[in-house]
Amino acid sequence: MSGLRILYLLLAIWGAVHPLSLMFGWMAETGAGLSGMIDTWMANGAVAGLSWDLMIAALALILWICAEVYVRRNWSSLLAIPATLLIGVGCGLPLYLFLRTRPV
């Protein structure tokens, strides 16, 4: 495995572990569940802007993945879609790049 692929994999793991640990820690600390976290995403203009920015980036990534899978038939790349939706772009994008750069 190339050094670049290892870096993509490490970024995907970090992009999953770090944000999830912060979100679960916040939920445990505040007692708020998923609905409380979603409410917090729109708490003020700055946070709402960042939230929408990430949602638009996630949508662009998902469209890119679908377009590439249609052309390249790299079906394993579809695993990056649930990672993006359930964890975030910080995990989904490097995971997609890791899956996309595998030797064919």
Q: What is the mean pLDDT of each run of 10 residues along the chain (104 residues)?
A: 95 97 90 83 90 96 97 94 96 97 84
Asked if residues 36 and 27 have their Cβ atoms less than 8 Å apart, the reply is yes
In this structure, are residues 8 and 98 in contact, taking their beta carbons and an 8 Å threshold?
A: yes
pLDDT at 38: 84
Q: d(Cα 33, Cα 60) in Å, to the nearest integer? A: 28
pLDDT of res. 43: 87
Provide the pLDDT for residue 41: 86
Q: What is the pLDDT of residue 27?
A: 87
Taken as a whole, the chain contains a residue count of 104
Spatial separation of the C-alpha atoms in residues 85 and 91, rounded to whole Å = 10
Say if pTM beats, i.e. exceeds, 0.85.
yes
